[in-house]
Amino acid sequence: MSLSDLELITCVVTEDDRAAFGELVRKHQSAVRAFLRQLTRGDAAWADDLAQETFILAYRKLRDFRGEAAFSSWLLGIAHNQFRNARRRQRETPHETVPEAPDDHEPSPADKTALHQDLSAAVARLSAHEQTALHVCYQQGLSHGEAAEVLGWPVGTVKTHLARSKEKLRQLLAAWKPLT
Amino acid sequence: MEAPDMNTPSTPSEDPLETLLRKNSEPIADNGFSARVLAVLPPPVQKPRVLPNRRVIACGLGALSGLVWGLMQSGLPRANDLAAFASVLEGSMMRIAATLADPWVLLLGALVISSLVFAYAREIAAKLS
């Protein structure tokens, strides 16, 4: 029987149970890494470094987790802060540049279909904030309120980015409208 | 291949674009990521080696030796001295009890206890759960 996130967190906090923390990492690594890959525009290596830092920081701060939000949302909030801090550091040291849009991420099976390829290409044409809003709300499955909490944006901004990005996607994918 | 309509939702609650966006993600395989994270976790925190009951014993021994030293300085008490001492002690206790009954002292005590509970809330909750 698998333990819930809260039960695993209790094991880590009260007994420093590393196996329990390993289980938490295994459960949430995909979401955190996917979120960071989205933020880093597909730079898998950088995203994984940030994901590692995210989990280490989460381990250190686990006692502060109050359970008011879902653990996954709490983790994504830490990941977003890690990304913003890293980007700020890179701006301060211009010799280390942020990759613009590397294509070194592994193609997913979904990319194999033409529609998903077109969708991915269309999403890539959106602004970074629009892509982030789409990712957290649709791929991470967060509500508008949770997304606002994770990203540190007002709820209205999340909704605006979503509406704008969906409108752009509909225009970019208009060719997929069936001929009538 | 049947092409979904991107512009008009089939039903008001089910937007094909939103459905597509939700499906447009594959889980990322762990591939040793979790193991790498666990390998770089900070080392376990060493618990203090001095046990609390040892501290209590040390404090008790200190208090006892202080008492013995005090008695030796003033000479061993006789029966009359003990009766007088008991009377003085009783008076002192009454004065202390009267002081503790002061509302301001009670308020101060309540504040101290509340502060301690607030500071150690997490530890108390962990002990109780």
Please report residues of B whose CB lies closer than 8 A to that of A13: 126
For B66-83, the pLDDT digits (tens) are: 888 877 776 666 667 778
Output the six-digit token pair for A103: 């294509």
ipTM of the complex: 0.73
Q: Are residues B25 and A169, on separate chains, in Cβ contact within 8 Å? A: no
CA distance B7 to B10: 10
Q: How far is A152 from chain B (nearest CA, A)?
A: 22
Q: What is the mean pLDDT of chain A?
A: 84
- Of the candidates A171, A169, A174, A68, the one whose C-alpha atom is nearest the C-alpha of residue A123 is A169
What pLDDT was estimated at residue A34? 92
Please report residues of A whose CB lies closer than 8 A to that of B126: 13-14
Please report residues of A whose CB lies closer than 8 A to that of B4: 115, 176, 178
Q: What is the mean pLDDT of residues B94-113?
A: 88
For A122-148, the pLDDT digits (tens) are: 888 899 899 999 988 988 889 999 999
- Of the candidates A25, A44, A26, the one whose C-alpha atom is nearest the C-alpha of residue A34 is A44
CA distance A127 to A131: 6
Mutate: best of A176, A179, A180, partner B, most B CBs <10 A: A176
Domains by residue range for chain A, with CATH: 1-106 (1.10.1740.10), 108-180 (1.10.10.10)
Measure CB to CB from residue B28 to each of A25, A30, A173 and give the nearest one.
Answer: A30
* DSSP secondary structure letters along B81-121: HHHHHHHHHHHHHHHHHHHHTSHHHHHHHHHHHHHHHHHTH
Q: Are residues B44 and A174, on separate chains, in Cβ contact within 8 Å? A: no
Size of interface A-B (CB pairs under 8 A): 101
Please report residues of B whose CB lies closer than 8 A to that of A138: 18, 21-22, 24
Phi-psi region of B5 (alpha: psi -120 to 50; beta: other; left: phi over 0): beta
Mutate: best of B14, B18, B19, B34, partner A, most A CBs <10 A: B34
What pLDDT was estimated at residue A164? 93
Q: What is the mean pLDDT of residues B8-33?
A: 73
High-pLDDT (> 70) share of chain B, %: 77
Measure CB to CB from residue A110 to each of B24, B36, B40 and give the nearest one.
Answer: B24
Return the H-helix or E-strand segment holding A170.
Answer: helix A155-172
- Of the candidates A42, A170, A21, A58, the one whose C-alpha atom is nearest the C-alpha of residue B18 is A170
For A21-55, the pLDDT digits (tens) are: 999 999 999 999 999 998 898 899 999 999 999 99
pTM: 0.60
Q: If DSSP codes are grouped into helix, strand and coil, which group holds residue B73?
A: helix
Output the six-digit token pair for A28: 């949430």
What pLDDT was estimated at residue A108? 52
